[in-house]
Amino acid sequence: MRSRATAYPLVAVLGWGVMFPILASALNRVDPLNLTTARYLLAAVVLVAILLLREGAGALRHGGRALEVVVLGVVGFAGFNLLTNLALEHAAPQQISLFVATTPVITQLVRWARDGVRPKPLLLALSLVALLGVGLVITRGSLAGLGQFGLGGLMMVGAVLGWGIYTHGASRFGEWSPLRFTTLTALAGTAAMLALSIGADAVGWQHAPAAADLVAVAPQLAYAVLVGAVIAVLAWNTGVQRLGAANAALFMNLVPVTTFAVQIARGYRPEPVELVGAAITIAALIAANLAARPRTASLPRPSAVTDPVAVTDPVAVSAR
């Protein structure tokens, strides 16, 4: 059963790894805030429709946890996705994906701050090694490239921190189905994105996309909505419930591998120092998470969920 559960975060991270190059190409026509808002407006419609069909209107209630849902939705959905799309204007997809791969370590630090579970010193040491690998990729081994960290790097630090908080928060909703948690947090995040996007358009920070621009990026938007925002997030939250936040977060190490493979297939030729840096980052993060994982005997039993179909096959649910 546990080996089957690993399929869910695996589906999620592979979908997200492919998504970064796809979103980067769409940003040539649509501003980051508007692209993110359009993506999640469409995704929210799909998720609400599925939730109503599967669990009924009662599942839209927050059950006394409205504030927690709103905070996680704004920090996780709005924060992570808006900052990531903005960062893609300042850094290449493969660089962004390496920042995302630090999510496992960030999740452990969030757990320390939230639950008082202190990470091992080895974890902190390996996280520094991972950041060194990120630095090699971004700077290509040259001190002259330090300026490339800049705004894009700071945005991704904030984005990953937001997703680490969201991932940890998801593990605290074991009595909800992954479908319900995903939908309600997505609605909260989408509302925040919409308000921010309208404000940015009003003051001239960005411009509302023309119909021709939306048509031009329709294939990218379709992938980002159906795969990146519906199937992948449902699969991710299912994996978090089945495996726990720390164990599920380990799979984020596969995001940069997938992104690098896509970029290479598209003609990108990485320099040897970039491959070395990526290998250092991934190896350090895997080692950090293996060191942080609890022993199998001490793992809590998975919480029961109210939507067995969404847990066993989120892809099938999203297709209904």
Sequence letter at residue 240: V
CA 156 to chain centre: 11
Q: How far is CA 111 from CA 119, 182, 292, 294, in A?
A: 9, 20, 11, 13
CA 35 – CA 124 distance, rounded (Å): 35
Neighbours of 205 (CB within 10 A): 12
CA-closest candidate to residue 79, choices 152, 169, 188, 162 = 162
pLDDT by residue for the chain (320 residues), tens only, comes to: 456 778 888 899 899 889 888 888 898 889 888 998 999 999 999 999 999 999 999 999 998 999 999 999 999 888 988 898 888 887 778 777 778 777 777 877 887 888 777 777 776 777 778 767 767 776 666 655 555 556 777 888 899 899 889 988 888 888 899 999 999 999 999 999 999 999 988 888 888 888 899 899 999 999 999 998 899 989 988 988 888 777 777 787 778 778 888 888 888 887 888 788 878 877 876 776 676 565 544 444 444 343 333 333 333 333 34
Residues in the chain: 320
Contact 255/101 with Cβ under 8 angstroms? yes
CA 156 – CA 92 distance, rounded (Å): 12
51-62 burial: b if 16+ Cβ within 10 Å, else e: beebbeeebeee
- pTM (whole model) above 0.85: no
- Alpha helix ranges (H) inside the chain: 2-5, 7-26, 32-55, 66-72, 80-87, 93-100, 103-115, 121-139, 150-170, 178-203, 211-216, 218-223, 232-243, 245-249, 254-265, 272-292, 308-312, 314-319
Handedness of CA 91, 93, 95, 97 (dihedral sign): positive
CA 82 – CA 212 distance, rounded (Å): 22
Sequence letter at residue 307: D
Quick one: tokens of 107?
């999740």
